[in-house]
């Protein structure tokens, strides 16, 4: 591959906030402060809650596609490929959010998912318990099939709330330690 497409790709990732560029040093993965992580996950919480509130229930064909995502998560996790399992998980979640037809909200959710991908890797250890993880994803599809919006929201928002709680606790601990 020639250099111009690589440079263009790096520039796009930099403009998306996923990379930073240091003159004469190169590109680096962007790191966020606790405050920035808290803001990113607060936005995800708000937007994803709205998408779930307004999503249209899936057809049997769409439910079958979502189940196939879960099967792919399990296959990749059992094969010891966490990156592919997390990719399949992202496909599952984003496919569910796309059941909401509010295109601006969905585009922003997708952007925020891209920006928080490295933090998801630390919070979803799919390989540790693949069957247990897969069972949780099947519960999500079951909630969709049952058209149980409350259960669906609780299952999908649990990881976001967990990260927000941890981040806010870290921020409080940092504030308390700086005051002593």
In the chain, where the domains are located: 1-31, 33-178
Q: Which of 4-8, 105-109, 112-116 has the weakest average pLDDT? A: 4-8
pLDDT of residue 34: 79
Average pLDDT in the 26-42 region?
A: 79
Whole-number average pLDDT of the chain: 84
For 91-102, what is the mean pLDDT? Answer: 97
Average pLDDT for 122-130: 68
Give pLDDT, residue 19. Answer: 61
Residue 144 has pLDDT above 80, yes or no: yes
Rounded to whole angstroms, the Cα distance separating 35 from 32 reads 8
Q: What's the pLDDT score for residue 36?
A: 84
Cα 56 to Cα 48, 64, 98, 141, 148, distances in angstroms: 14, 16, 9, 14, 12
Give, to the nearest 10 degrees, the angle between helix 82-97 and helix 130-145.
Answer: 10
Whole-number Å distance between alpha carbons of 96 and 149: 12
| pTM of the complete model | 0.78
At residue 129, the pLDDT reads 76
Positive or negative, the CA dihedral 5, 91, 69, 64 is: negative
In this structure, of 12-26, 60-74, 76-90, 119-133, the range with the lowest mean pLDDT score is 12-26
* Residue 82 confidence (pLDDT) above 80: yes
Choice between 152 and 170, residue whose per-residue pLDDT is larger: 152
pLDDT of 48 higher than 90: yes
Q: Do 108 and 92 contact (CB within 8 A), yes or no? A: no
Q: How far apart are CA 180 and CA 176, in angstroms?
A: 7
Taking domain 33-178, whether its CATH number is 3.20.20.140 is answered by no
What percentage of the chain reaches a pLDDT higher than 70? 84
């Amino acid at each position: 591959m020639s250099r111009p497409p690589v440079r263009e790709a790096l520039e796009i990732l930099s403009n998306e906030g996923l990379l930073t560029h240091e003159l004469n040093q190169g590109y680096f993965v962007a790191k966020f402060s606790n405050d920035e992580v808290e803001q990113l996950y607060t936005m995800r919480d708000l937007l994803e809650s709205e998408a779930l509130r307004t999503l249209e229930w899936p057809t049997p064909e769409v439910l079958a596609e979502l189940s196939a995502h879960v099967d792919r998560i399990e296959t990749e996790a059992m094969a010891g490929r966490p990156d592919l399992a997390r990719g399949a998980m992202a496909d599952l979640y984003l496919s569910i959010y796309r059941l909401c037809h509010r295109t601006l909200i969905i585009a922003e959710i997708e952007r925020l998912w891209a920006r928080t991908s490295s933090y998801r890797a630390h919070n979803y250890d799919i390989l540790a318990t693949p069957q247990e993880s897969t069972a949780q994803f099947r519960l999500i599809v079951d909630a969709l099939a049952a058209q149980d919006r409350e259960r669906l929201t609780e299952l999908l928002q649990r990881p976001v709330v967990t990260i927000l709680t941890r981040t806010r606790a870290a921020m409080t601990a940092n504030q308390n330690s700086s005051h002593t």
